[in-house]
Amino acid sequence: MKVEIGEVEHVARLARLKLSEDEKELFTGQLNAILDYMEKLNELDTGSIEPTFHVVSHQSVMREDAAKESQPQEAALDNAPDKAQGCFRVPKII
Amino acid sequence: MHRLTIHELHKKLKGKEVTAQEATEALLKRIKEVDPKIKAYLTVTEKEAIAGAQEADRRIADGKISPLTGIPLAIKDNMCTQGIQTTCASKILEGFIPPYDATVVKRLKDEGGVLLGKANMDEFAMGSSTENSRFTVTRNPWNLETIPGGSSGGSAAAVAADACIAALGSDTGGSIRQPAACCGVVGMKPTYGRISRYGLVAFGSSLDQIGPITKDVEDCAILLNAIAGHDPLDSTSINLPIPDYSKALIKDVKGWTLGVPKEFFVEGMDPQVEEEVGAAIRVLEGLGATVKEIALPHTGYAVATYYIICTAEASSNLARYDGVKYGFRAPESKELMEMYQETRSEGFGPEVKRRIMLGTYVLSSGYYDAYYRKASQVRTLIKEDFEKAFDQCDVIITPTAPTPAFRLGEKMEDPLQMYLSDIFTISVNLAGVPALSIPCGFSNEGLPIGLQIIGKHLEEERIIQAAYTFEQNTDHHTKRPKLS
């Protein structure tokens, strides 16, 4: 087994997910099966091969630094579950 | 009227035999008849469709008709539509009304296309059967007990059932081509970068691409003409001139070399798929093409590579769903971290959580090199396989999927088995090359089988020419499911 339940809990915390006990057990089994399958890649010697992160040559695109029309504040807030005084409102942080 | 293709309806609109409003009303009626059975749509935008059709009729009266003016279309629910709910079939985006249109949607509207509604999909496009939708299960119009494929299952089912004239889907690992094969329609994933992704909800950003799902190859070219091209709002969109794809509708493959990869015709393939694809290759051979066995030696590593890269990208893309800016927020959380966790745990379905977990794991400290970097290196090998193969052939021919549509529920308990149904499509996304699925026959149970035609980087025209030649010399595209 590659992944123990404790590690699943750690990864869930990193991903901001709260898993039920059943989900933890299910994901531990499934992640192990999937990661075992991915072991296949170790059959290949990739020592000196450059990785491909993007298939098109990726370069930063700059535009002129000029003011352009953007979403009005109201439209940007329209979908917020909670808002107040032109801001997103969230539960207390500290 | 609902049975027409884009080019057939265009002729009738141009000849004033029918108005856009009449066509749209006929399609809305068809949706009411068949959608309770197939459940292809998440939202039907009746009011907006009629208004769009009336606007199209005004343009036509002014003599300003383009190939898509007045054509009723369905859009996969992961493309933003201004003022119309866009959910990605996820609870976490329920109620989200985009304040802007995706570039592809804007381009269709600029041409006078009519939006009928938003099509069902696997949640966040993660799946191969559309069963991962949080809202409804779409059924295959050819057999209501089987899957329509996925993740663009709603778009493909709507096209096959004549519940729209054509549709847009998105394809990260086969999500246009596999449902097109399952539903017996034409689906194309263009070259990565050919179509703007602005306003497409991101899943695997280095793999995602929007493309047409249509009733025939001519419609595929027409829709591609409308949506292809550089967009300053997507820095990965390619800034090169766009050809007129309808000029590639030529019935001729004489002297072409078709590459058939030996790795694709081994273990696990349904014998009927093998037979129909073999017959299709012989049709093209009979029309003057030469078949050459080629090698794509790293094909066996593509599924593992893909599920590392796409889950890694997804885990960071989906970090934005935190219950703050839009969509669902878990009620009654007392503090911020609790709110994030509860929102995401309730808002995402099981497959999305599984992929976020896998992606977070492969990117996490200590595992990055073993998984993400390793997979990105194997991706280079897969890309080079295609480059070498295209030195020896004009297009590559394969099955689109290893089996016809499977039964609903069959693979839901075993994610790895579900992942393996993408085995023939995902290497195309890893390499970024274009590919199309076209119907090439039926199984004994009457389910469609798809042929995949893969082209070189930016050579959509060759794919269209090969597909058109095949289609015009066969009659698979004229068959329709018996849905009352």
Q: Which residues of A touch B383 (CB under 8 A)?
A: 52, 55
Between A93 and B132, whose confidence is greater? B132
B265 located within any domain: no
The pLDDT value given to residue A35: 93
Partner-chain contact A90 B300, CB within 8 Å:
no
Quote the pLDDT of residue B391.
Answer: 97
Q: Angle at which helices B103-110 and B217-227 pack, to 10 degrees?
A: 110
| Residue B395 exposure: Cα atoms within 13 Å on the Cβ side | 28
Q: Does B338 touch chain A (CB under 8 A)?
A: yes
Residue B367 belongs to some domain of the structure:
no
Minimum distance, in Å, between the CA of residue A67 and any CA atom of chain B? 15
Q: Of A56, A79, A82, which has the smallest distance from its Cβ to B236's Cβ?
A: A56
Burial B429-462 (b: 16+ CB within 10 A, else e): bbbbbbbbbbbbbbbeeebbbbbbbbbbbbbbbb
Where in B240-387 does DSSP place strands (E)?
257-261, 290-294
Q: Tally Cβ neighbours within 10 Å of residue B238.
A: 20
CA distance B1 to B6: 11
Cα separation, B16 vs B406, whole angstroms: 43
List of chain B residues whose C-beta atoms are within 8 Å of the C-beta of residue A18: 341-342, 344-345
Q: What's the confidence (pLDDT) of residue B74?
A: 98
Domain extent for A31: 1-41
Q: Which among B304, B345, B380 is the nearest to A18, CB-wise?
A: B345
Interface membership of A62 toward B (CB under 8 Å): no
pLDDT > 80? residue A59:
no
Which amino acids of B are annotated catalytic? 76, 151, 175
Question: Is A20 part of any domain?
Answer: yes
Residue B418 forms part of a structural domain: no
- Using a CB-CB cut-off of 8 Å, the residues of chain B touching A3 are 361
pLDDT at A58: 67
- Least Cα distance to B190 among B205, B165, B170, B206 occurs for B170
Residues 166 to 225 of B: which have CB under 8 A from any A CB?
Answer: 192-193, 206
Distance from CA of B256 to the nearest CA of A (A): 27
pLDDT value, residue B484: 55
Structural domains counted in chain A: 1
Dist CA B201 CA B474 (whole Å): 37
At residue A56 the predicted structure's pLDDT band, cuts being 50, 70 and 90, is: confident
| Chain B residues close to A91, C-beta within 8 Å | 333-336, 338-339
Report yes or no on B309 lying in a domain: no
CB pair distance less than 8 Å for A91 and B360: no
Number of domains comprising chain B: 1
Residues on chain B touching A17 (C-beta within 8 angstroms)? 341, 344-345, 348, 353, 356-357
To the nearest whole Å, the CA of B68 is away from the closest chain A CA by 29
* Residue B191 belongs to some domain of the structure: yes
Share of chain B above pLDDT 70, in %: 99
The residue of chain B nearest to residue A23, with distances taken between CA atoms, is B350
Do B132 and B126 contact (CB within 8 A), yes or no?
yes
Instruction: Evaluate whether residue B97 is within a structural domain.
Output: yes
Q: Which residues on chain B are in Cβ contact (under 8 Å) with A50? A: 377, 380
pLDDT tens digit sequence for B330-360: 998 899 999 999 999 999 999 999 999 999 9
Least Cα distance to B207 among B429, B436, B356 occurs for: B429
Q: Which residues of B touch A63 (CB under 8 A)?
A: 232
Cα dihedral across residues B97, B102, B104, B109: positive or negative: positive
Q: Which helix (H) or strand (E) holds B350?
A: helix B350-363
As given in the structure block, the two tokens for residue B214 are: 């249509």
| B332 vs A: CB within 8 A | no
Strand partners, B79: B200
Residue type, B203: F
Q: Residue ranges of chain B with pLDDT lower than 70?
A: 266-267, 484
> Chain B within 8 Å of A81 (Cβ-Cβ)?
yes
Query: CA of B155, closest CA in chain A: separation in Å?
Result: 26
Give residue-wise pLDDT tens across range B106-163: 999 999 999 999 999 999 999 999 999 999 999 999 999 999 999 999 999 999 999 9
The CATH number of residue B126's host domain is 3.90.1300.10
Whether A41 sits inside 8 A of B304 (CB atoms) is yes
B109 sits in which H/E element: helix B103-110
The closest CB to that of B357, out of A31, A43, A90, belongs to: A31
Long-range contacts of B86-89 (CB under 8 A, 24+ apart): B86/B118, B86/B201, B87/B42, B87/B118, B87/B135, B88/B121, B88/B123, B88/B124, B88/B125, B88/B201, B89/B42, B89/B120, B89/B121, B89/B122, B89/B123, B89/B124, B89/B132, B89/B133, B89/B134, B89/B135
Residues of B in Cβ contact (< 8 Å) with A60 = 235
B117: closest CA of chain A, how far (Å): 20
- Alpha-carbon distance of B172 to B350, in angstroms, equals 19
Which of B325, B335, B431 lies closest to A91 in CB terms? B335
Phi, psi of B225 (to 5 degrees): -55, -40
Residue B32, in any domain of the structure: yes
Half-sphere exposure of B3 (CA within 13 A, CB side): 8
Which of B336, B358, B377 is closest, CB to CB, to A91? B336
Residue B102: how many other CB atoms lie within 10 Å: 27
B240 lies within 8 A of chain A by CB: no
- Would B426 be classed as within a structural domain? no
Partner residues linked to B166 by β-bridges:
B73
CA distance A40 to chain B (A): 7
Q: Which domain holds residue B221?
A: 6-255+432-478
For residue B99, give the nearest of A61, A71, A91 by CB distance: A71
The answer to whether residue A70 neighbours chain B at the CB level (below 8 Å) is no
**Which residue from B192, B253, B241 is spatially nearest to B383, judged by alpha carbons?**
B192
Contact A92 B315 (CB under 8 A): no
CATH value at residue A29: 1.10.20.60
How many interface pairs between A and B have CB atoms less than 8 angstroms apart? 157
| Chain B residues touching A93 at Cβ < 8 A | 335-336
The answer to whether the CB atoms of A17 and B345 lie below 8 A apart is: yes
B151 preceded by a cis bond (ω within 30 of 0)? yes
* Bridge partners, B73 (sequence order): B115, B166
**CB contact, 8 Å: B329 with chain A?**
yes
